[in-house]
């Protein structure tokens, strides 16, 4: 099934974050909890881990783009359910 990975809420009031580094590209295979993407906020850099293992179908944002809580980051083909 296709799993949508969205930007989690980093903290109330954090208006936006910048995608600083994708650790995986499309068609790559990723394991659950592996660092998927690195995002930059005013206070710190966060790695967002993958909630499932599987194959990256599509990345929806590029490095340097600003993202907000709930924005779709990536879709992953997976047999697992997010915890």
Partner 1 sequence: MPTLKQPPWLKKTAHSSPVVKVTADILRDAGVSTVCQSARCPNIFDCFSRRQATFLILGERCTRRCGFCAVEKGVPGAVDPAEVSRVSAAVFHLGLQHVIITSVTRDDIDDGGAGHFARMITSLRKICGASLTIEVLTPDFSGNASAVDRVLAESPHIFSHNLETVPRLYAKARCGADYERSLRVLRRAHENGRGVRTKSSIMLGLGETRAEIAALLADLRSVGCDMLAVGQYLRPSPLQIPVERYIRPEEFSEIREMGYTLGFTDVQSGPFVRSSYRAREGVRDGDTGQAS
Helix (H) or strand (E) holding 17: strand 17-22
Dump the DSSP string for 34-62: SEEEEEE-SS-EEEEE-SS-EEEEEE-S-
C-beta of 74: minimal distance to partner 1 in Å? 13
* CB nearer partner 1, residue 13 or residue 64: 13
Contact between residue 20 and residue 36 where contact means Cβ atoms under 8 Å apart: no
* CB nearer partner 1, residue 1 or residue 14: 14
Write out the residues near partner 1 by the rule CB under 8 A: 8-15, 35, 38-49, 51, 82-83
C-beta of 38: minimal distance to partner 1 in Å? 8
C-beta of 22: minimal distance to partner 1 in Å? 15
Q: If we measure between CA atoms, which residue out of 38, 36, 71, 39 comes closest to residue 57?
A: 36
């Amino acid at each position: 099934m296709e799993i949508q990975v969205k930007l989690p809420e980093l903290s109330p009031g954090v208006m936006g974050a910048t995608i600083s580094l994708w650790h995986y590209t499309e068609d790559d295979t990723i394991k659950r909890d592996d660092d998927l993407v690195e995002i930059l906020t005013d206070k710190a850099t966060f790695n967002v881990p993958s909630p499932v293992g599987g194959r990256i179908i599509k990345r929806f944002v590029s490095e340097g783009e600003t993202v907000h809580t709930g924005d779709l980051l990536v879709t992953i083909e997976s047999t697992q359910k997010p915890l």
